Amino acid sequence: MNILVTGGAGFIGSNFIRYLLDLSDEYFIINLDKLTYSGNLENLKDVKKGFSERYKFLKGDICDREKVRDIIKNYQIEAIINFAAETHVDRSIKEGSKLFIRTNILGTETLLSEGLSGNIRLYIQISTDEVYGSLGEEGIFTEKSVLSPTNPYSASKASADLLALSYFRTFGFPVIIVRSCNNFGPYRFPEKLIPLLITNAIEDKYLPIYGEGRNVREWIFVEDFCRAVYMVMNKSKLGEVYNISTGFQKRNIEVAELILKKFNKGKDLIRFVEDRKGHDWRYSMDFSKIKNEIGWNPGIDFERGLDDTIRWYSENSRWVKNVKSGEYLKYYEKYYGL
């Protein structure tokens, strides 16, 4: 199967490409990525070496209609998995929402409408628990819950979900939506909570915690999420939405304290800082639909995933240094002529 993976140089996309190529030789993958600040070809260095016949990277923007059309036609694309997005909530609040609207909504529209004229058998939209909005201390979201996003990032993701579903209803375009809780694991850009806390702990820097740190996030190890997407690709019904979550819910302060404990460092490294504007209190999703219909369950518990993640960041100090300094941008020119 020829698959167009978008945003494959980012955190989840790069983990997914590696997962799929390792798993089966049935797939030929085109990775279309704009290489924004969070896209990093270093995430895929080993993939490039081992799988050159089944993998190709193309630099480009999912909003570039002609490019998307040419790729779908020239590579006889049969499936599109859309990971590409502007993903950081704080940036959508502090730096403006325009880029989020452009990539997350208009980019999705481009893939859907260009996909219509190709021979696409499957389109997976990678979405988020944030589209449901915020919960208090009680409650859980199912796939039938009302969409009620609260920040520009989540509003753009909810819009993309609705647009994708409209393409299924109107045109019979083969859309499936997966909504994930918060992923963690190797190759995550260290502006997000877990990699930021780990890399700061390694460097004896303060761990910034918003407000009082009592907000709750639900965590999934990235390999578990990749396995879920793979199972959805192969077993699910078109036009459906699947929540992918774990029940591993933690307050942010608990995560910070656990990470410090793993490094044998004191809680005095924690700094409470100004809260995020409109900070969602808690996310929690019911994943019984994917469990019952597809047979997926989380396999890696939070602490085991955290240990693996800490090990990875500790052993990849060069990656961390390059990413934190922006140095990695130079690699594009050196290795890929981009």
Active site residues: 129-130, 153
Antiparallel, parallel or unpaired: β 249-251 and 216-221: antiparallel
Name which of residues 78 to 117 contact ligand NAD (CB under 6 A): 83-87, 103, 107
Does the protein bind ligand DAU through residue 214 (CB under 6 A)?
A: no
CA distance 185 to 192: 11
DSSP character string of 61-124: -TT-HHHHHHHHHHTT--EEEE------HHHHHHS-SHHHIIIIIIIHHHHHHHHHTTT-SEEE
Answer yes or no whether residue 89 interacts with ligand DAU by CB under 6 A. yes
Tell me which of ligand NAD, ligand DAU, none is bound by residue 224, counting a contact when its beta carbon lies within the kind-specific cut-off of 5 to 8 angstroms.
none
SS3 326: coil
Residue 79 and residue 229 in contact, taking contact as beta carbons nearer than 8 Å: no
Nearer to ligand DAU, 72 or 176 (CB): 176
Instruction: Say whether residue 276 binds ligand DAU (CB under 6 A).
Output: yes
Name the residue nearer to ligand NAD (CB basis): 181 or 253.
181
Query: How far apart are CB 235 and ligand DAU at their closest, in Å?
Result: 23
Q: How far is the CB of 166 from ligand DAU (least distance, A)?
A: 21
Quick one: how many helices (H) and strands (E) in the chain? 14, 12
Residue 181 CB, nearest approach to ligand NAD (Å): 7
Backbone angles phi, psi at 114, to 5 degrees: -75, -35
Q: How far apart are CA 206 and CA 80, in angstroms?
A: 41
The residue at minimum Cβ distance from ligand DAU is 128
Q: How far apart are CA 36 and CA 108, in angstroms?
A: 17
Among 217, 227, 282, 289, binds ligand DAU (CB under 6 A): 217
Give which of ligand DAU, ligand NAD, none residue 236 binds (C-beta under 5 to 8 Å, depending on kind): none
Q: Where are the alpha helices (DSSP H) in 205-287?
A: 222-235, 252-262
Q: Contact between 193 and ligand DAU (CB under 6 A)?
A: yes
Does 180 contact ligand NAD by CB under 6 A? yes
- What does the chain come to in residues? 338
Kindly state the smallest distance separating residue 5's Cβ from ligand DAU, in Å: 17
Interacting residues with ligand NAD (CB under 6 A)? 6-7, 9-13, 32-36, 38-39, 61-63, 83-87, 103, 107, 126, 128, 157, 180, 182-183, 189
